[in-house]
Amino acid sequence: MLNINNISLSRGHKQILKNISLTMGEEEKVGLVGVNGAGKSTILKVIGGLEEADLGNVSFKGTMSYLAQETHKEMDINNHPNLTIGEYLIIEKSIDVEEWEIKKFLNNLKMDDKDCDSKLGELSGGQKIKVEIIKILMEKADLLILDEPTNFLDIPSAEWLMRYLVTYPKAVLVVSHDLRLMNKGITKIWFLNERIHDVEVYRGNYEQFLKVQALRDEFLVKQLVSEERKAEKVFELAQNLSGRKSIKEKKRAARKFEQAKELKENVKELQVKVMKGKKMHLNIPVPMQSNKLVLEMDNISKAYIKGKEILKDVSCNVQKNDRLAVIGKNGAGKTTLLKILAGRLKQDSGTYKWGFNTNVGYYSQENEDLDFNKTVWENIEKLEWGTLDKRKFLGGFLIAGDMIDQKVSTLSGGEKTRLALAKLFAGGYNVLLLDEPTTYLDPDSQNILLHALKEYKGTIILVSHEPHFVRELGIEKVILMPEEYFGYFRDEYIERVGAI
């Protein structure tokens, strides 16, 4: 059904894909994995016809539906705020579906309070993404191409989508850092090896892939050690023979030197295969200390539509070095609250006051502080770096080489996240407002960020749908939405992180 023939692609001097050939049959469920920035989204865009390869071609028979990684920025749904969900799907998108079917999908995606008559303009960003997912699933294409489909979903919605994809009667190609999704129903793994710019094919699910890859790496290490020893012995023998006077011995020496050279080339190839992808090394600079009282918030309320308050009388107080989590379902107002505290949005009523000597930094899940039309370097060159070594600091976020001169619009979701975090952490803020900072990061990078934040000598106010991240960060206080309850964290609240 899908044939990828000798695809090669470069960005500037950076090779992304090199002579890739792959096939995918009807009803296959394929997971595409690899580190951030390896080129996973690029492969999907080439398959979907959104980008052209430098060499090679893609052939496909049938219909195709594509969900972009950053679909929240590209959704046509944003252009129709006055349409209802039903009008958008049935009339605007010409999908042959009954209203009861739409309602069933809404219920499955935990939008029980919405129906076909709900206006698109009243939906939160996360709810709009769910409607976009419903649109793609209802198109019933022969091939679904999904780039991080669970990024903005709460856990029950992600689990439902996972089960749905497993039973989808046609082909699915998915990129996801959600390992639960990868481990159920996937029949084949395409592993994009960024070191050799090739895609390695593994039969089975993600867990089986990890086991096979671990065994393969172990074998390669043993093979590498063996080849290195053999090359050394052959080279030593060649040197001994070359010192002899006999012409016959000198000829043997020449052959041995050639053999040693070939063995060393084999060693180099094995070294490339054994090398692991680079990982972030984060060190958040120690900020200037704030006063003990960091934030006082009294009865903050906000409504986007008159009479429909998304926030109502939210109050709290935050002390120096507190870790506070804002927990609630999609559409409960978590992002709205952080935008108000960051000064990006005006509340309708109530007050908040930052304490003396506070310096507040804000990470937006939509990377609002990045200028997509400028290069990476242009986005960070005017920061107050102080004594920080710019290039060394950026290198810790894997921002180096040709990437410095790339336009931000060409970066992957994970690369944009790393750049936004680098820009934030370089600011020396003693209060961090973090709205879903792990969304586009692979599991290893999430854990590296977690460790850095645990060591951070400042105050954190966090929105996250990752229970593990919230638990391990050491959250002390919570605001529960939509109850607007403020209090100390309890273990039972973990169940509500992304689970509503």
pLDDT tens-digit series, residues 296-315: 999 999 998 887 888 999 99
Q: Are residues 76 and 19 in the same domain?
A: yes
Q: Which helix (H) or strand (E) holds 33?
A: strand 29-33
Q: How far is CA 185 from the centre of its chain?
A: 21
Q: Are residues 202 and 77 in the same domain?
A: yes
* Alpha helical stretches, state H, 76-205: 85-86, 99-108, 125-138, 155-167, 179-182
Single-letter residue type at 466: E
Contact 21, 30 (CB under 8 A): no
Structure tokens at 454: 């645990």
Q: Decide if 360 is inside a domain.
A: yes
pLDDT digits (tens, 9 = 90+) for 191-215: 888 777 888 888 877 777 777 766 6
Which CATH number do you get for residue 35? Answer: 3.40.50.300
Q: Are residues 365 and 267 in the same domain?
A: no
Q: Look at residue 346 in the predicted model and tell me its pLDDT.
A: 95
Q: Are residues 250 and 299 in the same domain?
A: no
Lowest mean pLDDT among 181-185, 187-191, 467-471, 483-487: 181-185
| Phi and psi, residue 168, nearest 5° | -60, 130
Q: How far is CA 68 from the centre of its chain?
A: 12
Q: Are residues 188 and 263 in the same domain?
A: no
Contact 181, 163 (CB under 8 A): no
Contact 479, 323 (CB under 8 A): no
Q: Is the pTM of the predicted complex or chain greater than 0.85?
A: no
Q: Look at residue 263 in the predicted model and tell me its pLDDT.
A: 62
Query: Per mean pLDDT, which of 164-173, 210-219, 328-337 is the most reliable?
Result: 164-173
In this prediction, residue 63 has a pLDDT band, given cuts at 50, 70 and 90, of: very high
pLDDT digits (tens, 9 = 90+) for 214-252: 666 665 566 666 666 776 776 777 777 676 667 666 567
Asked if residue 270 has pLDDT above 70, the reply is no
SS3 140: coil
**All residues at 6 or more sequence positions from 488 whose CB lies less than 8 Å from its CB, including other chains:** 476, 477, 478
Q: Are residues 335 and 201 in the same domain?
A: no
Q: Decide if 193 is inside a domain.
A: yes
Q: Decide if 492 is inside a domain.
A: yes
Number of domains in the chain: 3
Q: Decide if 390 is inside a domain.
A: yes
Q: Look at residue 73 in the predicted model and tell me its pLDDT.
A: 64
Share of the chain above pLDDT 70, in %: 86
Domain region containing 269: 215-274
Q: Are residues 369 and 314 in the same domain?
A: yes
Q: Look at residue 500 in the predicted model and tell me its pLDDT.
A: 43
Q: Which residue has the tokens 């195709």?
A: 64
Q: Are residues 448 and 316 in the same domain?
A: yes
Q: Are residues 145 and 116 in the same domain?
A: yes
